[in-house]
Amino acid sequence: KKEGNLGLHAASKILRVFKDGKLTDKSFILFGLSGTGKTTLSCHSHWLHAPERVIIRQDDVVILRFDGSAIGTEESFYMKTEGLEPSTQPLLYAAAISPRAILENVRVEPETGRVDFFDTMLTSNGRAMVKRRDIAFTDNEIDLEKVDFVIFITRHHDILPPIVRLTPEWGAVAFMLGESVETSAGDPAEAGKPRRVVGTNPFIMGSEEEEGNSFLSILRNNPDVQCFLLNTGSVGGVTRG
């Protein structure tokens, strides 16, 4: 931190995609409070077909360096399990039912051992601890040489569009606001209500203002980094009459 680096509650991945006829690697950092879709997006293939692919790096704790690179910290991922199914989240589902997975607050049939991720009799906040190597599209690396995109994930049901590109200054604003709505992954009693957490990081130690200024300094030192706000909720309200 004294060197201008910043510990983040964020995920990281690489998308290897065609651009101008050539395969290009683009690196992403994804911010998001619990229940907004951070793990869902960071651990998904996006249905890319070879030679295009994703490379999953981290899910929860990333250190963003002043030079625009990112250091990983995790060999295991801790993820929400409610509604996991192979048709929509195949990578997470396969990891959650692997022999090495540790399940918490998840219904398991005692006779058959079948796991039911849709049963919320215990709680809607079921969790799984999975080994990173048990998730497809990971490799032996956990760092990013250079961050290309920063994504702030939020969940709103109002006028916020699906995606918005931000200037570095507005990226710092999004970082400081850390806006979303509460979900059952946080406080079930407050689910659906607006919530703000600086850096979408409830684990910040020290000055929040210092965190925000450090983040802005990193963006200004790396002008090629693009920031986006991604809304995983809906536009125009939850219901329409």
Q: Are residues 120 and 224 in the same domain?
A: no
Q: Are residues 160 and 239 in the same domain?
A: yes
- Tell whether the torsion through CA atoms of 45, 177, 167 and 217 is positive or negative: negative
227 has pLDDT over 90: yes
Q: Are residues 113 and 168 in the same domain?
A: no
Q: Are residues 21 and 31 in the same domain?
A: yes
Q: Are residues 62 and 167 in the same domain?
A: yes
Give DSSP secondary structure letters for 27-72: EEEEE--TTSSHHHHHT--TT--TT-EEEEEESSEEEE-TTS-EEE
CB 154 within 8 A of CB 102: no
Average pLDDT over residues 42-55: 96
Q: Are residues 112 and 44 in the same domain?
A: no
**Cα dihedral: 60, 61, 67, 69 (round 10):** -50
How many whole angstroms separate alpha carbon 129 and alpha carbon 166? 34
Q: In the prediction, which pLDDT does 241 show?
A: 40
How many whole angstroms separate alpha carbon 225 and alpha carbon 25? 14
Residue 120: give its domain's CATH number.
2.170.8.10
Q: How many CA atoms lie within 13 A of 151 on its CB side?
A: 24
How many whole angstroms separate alpha carbon 104 and alpha carbon 185? 13
- The parent domain of residue 121 ranges over 75-136
Q: Are residues 83 and 34 in the same domain?
A: no
Q: Are residues 124 and 101 in the same domain?
A: yes
Q: In the prediction, which pLDDT does 206 show?
A: 83
pLDDT tens column, 165-213? 999 999 999 999 998 777 666 666 766 777 888 998 988 888 999 999 9
Output DSSP code: residue 236: S
Q: Are residues 228 and 160 in the same domain?
A: yes
How many whole angstroms separate alpha carbon 90 and alpha carbon 68? 31
203 or 141, which is more confident?
141
Average pLDDT over residues 214-233: 95
36 or 64, which is more confident?
64
Q: Are residues 23 and 70 in the same domain?
A: yes
> In percent, how much of the chain has pLDDT > 70?
93
240 has pLDDT over 70: no
- Average pLDDT over the chain reads 91
The strand pairing partners of 22, in sequence order, are 19
Tokens 């992403």 belong to which residue? 28
Residue 58: give its domain's CATH number.
3.90.228.20
